Structure 1
């Protein structure tokens, strides 16, 4: 009796009895596309609605990500060149990120297109703790917020909520890094990017800080 002649329950039992190594090999041979990935929502939403919701989610993730990255890149350019926000340097910084993001189809082709969103999402999850930790530090900085800095009970509430968010982001990032680092191909990329970010953070934190207000102090003394 062949596998095709078995009932659904017998097929599931036979598959469940396979060694883990064979299951991994079989899973790696399956070619997945967007429609197959969206089927995970089918039991809840139905096949047609699941495809629509999945597509809207991927599209929304792409639009929201590129908008945020463009703005961040614009601010970074202004800081790099010491220019006011909203000027030409800001626009150039935004456009660079936008053009690079819009050129994805040049570098990703064929079956790799669908996995671009998954790759970006994975790296975004890894970097999330840095963003959340920065937000928490900024929220507690009188130098940045001035009179707008929360105080008293509001400060405690925000710190508790942000602390929970930071811990959740760290746990999610650690899980993502652990899963991706064990991959024979993606693992090397994840580890390399992680090392670069750690070095960048340490060099920024412990590097020599530029002396502020040197020009204004000199003019005051004169």
Structure 2
């Protein structure tokens, strides 16, 4: 897997467009905190969204999150790092598949250092039929992750938790070269075209009826 993790090499400068905005998704019924990352000519962008449960009462509580990524068709893969860096935290990677019932492939990965990430067994995910699609201009994935908001970065280290009352530093990367096997959730992916990080507003992402809403959604897969 050729996803380079060194942020200082061959990266394009990303312009931070704006703070998180509220997005009410008619397909899933969830409220998302939404951020668009521009990567080309101040026009083309990738949208990253988060939805989380309301009512979490401890800063040391892991919780599920639903992720939604919307990317132009020319984007061959898009990645999201929950820890704001590409190493020692859960990574969600998605790419458009080659036909089949599921339009987009999702995967959870982990990089122990500045090296290619491998499949991550510390988290599970489900890709939902509602909110996962592909057409002639864009592809979109909607997936729930269990185990992405808390993790142990390395042996004997303290558990890290994502905040639920304010902003969290997250990171993204994306590519424009074809994925080796787009129907496989462990496929090699090429070196990133660009990467960036930002502060996502998780307070905006809370959903009072998160569990009830998510239980109504239909999953393509549940895997680790």
Normalising by structure 2, we get a TM-score of 0.26
Q: Which structure: larger Rg?
A: 1
Structure showing the higher helix proportion among its residues: 1
Structure showing the higher strand proportion among its residues: 2
Structure number with greater CO (CA < 8 Å, separation at least 6) is 2
